[in-house]
Structure 1
Amino acid sequence: MFIQPWDAGLDEAEWQSWIAEGHDFGQLSVNGLPGHPPVVVPTHFTGDGTHLLIHLARPNPVWRTIEHDPNVTFTVIGDYAFIPGPWRAKSDTPPTDGVPTSYYAAVQFSCRAHIVDDPEAKADLLRRQLAHFQPDGDHAPVGADQPPYGRMLSGIRGLRLEVADVRAKFKYDDHKPVEHRAAVADRLTERGAGLDVPTARQQLRRLDRMGPWQP
């Protein structure tokens, strides 16, 4: 992932807070077997500090590739929007001369994957995931030796992704003048399509924290 200096995360707390806000769905990318393309799997995830926790169906073809090479990348993308060229045109040029772009936030985790096959360890992984996604506890107990989950554990395998490196990108035209960034955020809010509003919120958050771009 190419990151311009003005698009870089300001500190670890920035991307950690962004993930904690509910960005808990991403893509697991695994090197393919010799002669085959990489395998990419969309999935929810949770974390336990230094690991990302995932479970996938046992028939998933990703297992063979992980066993061949456990070095993987997990990518989370959100708060994205297309920015039309006229919104970015300089004041002394025709609006049609503006160059369009995309705004987005992305966090990439470089990891070493550890497969979880022990029934009790898989049950513990599921309990951690349910604690995140169903915090009200409105589900049956998850145990390796009791229904309904116990009999289904054989149909899944777990993954603990040991995080080795994190790269964060917040691409919101932070190198542009303050007035330009504020105006684009207003236009995004007014347009209100797709993820326009959360995209504007990210742009204003970065603007408030960064102010004018300083190389």
Structure 2
Amino acid sequence: MLIHPWDSVHDDDEWRGWLTGHDFGQLAVNGLPGEPPWVQPMHFRYDSQPGRYGQVIAHLARPNPMWAALEGNPTVLLSVVDDYVFVPGPWAAPEGAPAEHGTPTSFYAAVQLRCTAWVVDDPAEKAELLNRQVAHFQPEGGTAPVAVGEAPFGRLLSGLRVLRLDVTDVRAKFKYANHKPEAVQNRIADGLARRAAPGDAAARTHQLRRRARPDATT
């Protein structure tokens, strides 16, 4: 992922704060020799850790075909992308240029977590990690806890494997044209507000938020 200086995060708090509100991504696992990578869409729980990049918890079905590749190379990439929109060319035209000379572009936020994967098969540890993941998505409760040998979910443990991903590096990007002249940025923000299509409000919020930072690249 190419990251220009004007698209880079201001600090770790920016990507951590955004990722805290996003818990669905794609896990990319290196393929076996001669095979392409495996890409697995999945829900996950991200836990920030002081002084470290943090940890991810997820689970997948035991029949998933990626396990052999994962065990062959535990270095993986979890990619999360959201708040994306298409920006029409006329909105981004340089000042004084014909509208049709504007270059269409994409706005998006993206965080890529490079991780070392650990596969958890111990039933008690799997139960504990699954309960932590469910607690993230369902803090109000309402679902029985997973317990080894106990109904209703104990019998399902053998059909699942849990992934614990230790994050070793992070690449993050907020591509919202913050290097453009103020007049062009205003035109794009106004266009997003008028169009009000899915994603436009979130993209506009990012654009204005990053402009407001005194350390934003201009």
Calculate the TM-score normalised by the size of structure 2.
0.94
2:162 corresponds in structure 1 to: 158
C-alpha separation between the residues in 2 aligned to 1:212 and 1:33?
42
Local SS of the residue matching 2:213: helix
Local SS of the residue matching 1:146: coil
- 1:58 matched to 2:62? The reply is yes
Amino acid at match of 2:14: E
C-alpha separation between the residues in 2 aligned to 1:8 and 1:24?
21
1:206 corresponds in structure 2 to: 210
Matches within 5 A, 1:133-212: 133-210=137-214
- 1:12 matched to 2:12? The reply is yes
C-alpha separation between the residues in 1 aligned to 2:132 and 2:186?
40
Matches within 5 A, 1:82-161: 82-161=86-165
C-alpha separation between the residues in 1 aligned to 2:2 and 2:90?
25
Alignment deviations for residues 19-62 of structure 1 (CA, whole Å, 9 cap, x no partner): 12x21110000000111110000001102332111100111111
Amino acid at match of 1:87: W
Contact kept, 8 Å, 2:10 with 2:216, in 1: the verdict is no
Local SS of the residue matching 1:197: helix
What's the CA shift for 1:93? 1.1
| Identity fraction in percent | 53
Local SS of the residue matching 1:48: strand
2:44 corresponds in structure 1 to: 45
What's the CA shift for 1:178? 2.5
87-96 vs 181-190, which moves further: 181-190
Amino acid at match of 2:43: H
Amino acid at match of 2:189: A
C-alpha separation between the residues in 2 aligned to 1:182 and 1:120?
55
Return 5+ residue gaps in structure 2 as ranges.
49-53
What's the CA shift for 1:210? 4.4
Alignment deviations for residues 71-123 of structure 1 (CA, whole Å, 9 cap, x no partner): 00001101000001100001211111100110000000001100010111111
> In 2 relative to 1, CA 33–146 (structure 1 residues): closer, same or farther, beyond 3 Å?
same
C-alpha separation between the residues in 2 aligned to 1:147 and 1:189?
51
Size of the aligned set, in residue pairs, is 213
